[in-house]
Amino acid sequence: MSHQVLNWQINRKMTYWYPEHRPRRQFAGVFDINKCIACQTCSLACKTTWTSGKGQELMFWNNVETKPWGSYPTGWDVKTLSLLGPQKWGKEEYEGATVFEAAPKGERVLQYSPEDGDWCNVNLGEDECSGIIEKGAYLKIPHAVWFFYLQRICNHCTYPACLAACPRGAIYKRPEDGVVLIDQKNCHGHRECMKACPYKRIFFNVVTGTSEKCIACYPSLESGKSNRCFETCIGKIRLQGWINTPEKAQEDNPVDFLVHIRKVALPLYPQFGTEPNVYYIPPKHVDPVFLRQMFGPGVDKAIATYKNAKNDPELLGLLLLQGSSDRIIERFKVKDGTAIGYTAKGAEIVRVPLKEPLYIRPYKDTALDVFRHNVT
């Protein structure tokens, strides 16, 4: 039996298999696409921690793919968007159908099943750009030719398609943090969750005969520490925390600030209707028409706000706090040219200056009685 639930990302009620029931607090992450260099440290950190066993050889709970051509599994987004049909946004709400509302009669979710070979090309399209580079071409600003890296983990959606589709009820959402998990003892390997997830973040282990997925490193989460992919990110593009609904947003909550207050971080394919809880700061050099399809109508404003960060101390400070600690920063403030991150109870975690200090050493070092010379 379907129910009407409120999805704030599409600004309307929609059809979902279960009644609306939000957790006590919701795990969330923000990725700044502009900073990612696709070093894949996050992917390897996740794999060596969670998916290095038998049957998991081609399983990457975290992956980084190159857009517009890269995808893992192959063509996941193009196939889902094609099945969904026209995706029209009005002035204030999404007017098209979600994956739940577009489901064929007798199905709970619009779905397709990737072929086995689709999981074999993790880095398909890596560093391929949107056009052809002619001999003698050079970089122009704004970019006429572009590509960018998209970081992907499970979105731990508010309305998970995988949960709605599972005939065994083996998938559940933890009430304490909103993390979506699969009960391995109750999973019978029907793979309905794999077909239903529009982001294709569910994987099948052929050895165990069960489905598996990102668990948001919940043992670390419970102790206030960042997930492995967040902690090891060299580019410091990731921010982990908790998100509230718009009417309950708190200005000193880092995720709330980026998503609800400054609205610089946007959900990936909000038109799917799952209300994903991983958000992205869109790449400022990419064709906005392409980005609007991925992140919705808020793209232009988000990019303009991001470009103005140098004149916005609070936003700049929070962006500098990304990746500055292995602890989850739950509160923040900017004071006297310094961004400060805190625990939920107000204990200070880290300080980052808005401007990197510049130290000019004297030409003569009197302590060592030597002269310093510039070496080029």
**41-77: pLDDT as tens digits:** 999 999 999 999 999 999 999 999 999 999 999 999 9
Query: What distance in Å separates the CA atoms of residue 101 and residue 374, rounded to the nearest whole number?
Result: 67
Query: What distance in Å separates the CA atoms of residue 93 and residue 307, rounded to the nearest whole number?
Result: 26
pLDDT attached to residue 134: 82
Summarised one tens digit per residue, pLDDT across range 189-201 is 999 999 999 999 9
Confidence of residue 232 (pLDDT cuts 50, 70, 90): very high
Average pLDDT of the segment spanning 307-314? 97
pLDDT above 80: residue 376: no
Per-residue burial over 271-302, b if 16 or more Cβ lie within 10 Å, else e, is: bbbbbbbbbbbbbbebeeebbbebbbebbeeb
pLDDT attached to residue 372: 82
pLDDT attached to residue 362: 84
When mean pLDDT is compared across 8-12, 94-98, 103-107, 134-138, the lowest value belongs to 134-138
pLDDT above 90: residue 162: yes
What percentage of the chain has pLDDT greater than the value 70?
99
When mean pLDDT is compared across 89-93, 205-209, 227-231, the lowest value belongs to 89-93
Each domain of the chain, given as residue ranges in start order, spans 3-131+140-281
Query: What distance in Å separates the CA atoms of residue 47 and residue 62, rounded to the nearest whole number?
Result: 8
pLDDT above 80: residue 375: no
Architecture of domain 3-131+140-281 in CATH?
2-Layer Sandwich (3.30)
Summarised one tens digit per residue, pLDDT across range 248-274 is 999 999 999 999 999 999 999 999 999
Query: What distance in Å separates the CA atoms of residue 149 and residue 152, rounded to the nearest whole number?
Result: 10
Q: What is the token pair recorded at 67?
A: 């857009």
Contacts of residue 246, defined as CB under 8 A and 6 or more positions apart, other chains included, come to: 8, 260
* CB atoms inside a 10 Å sphere around CB 2: 15
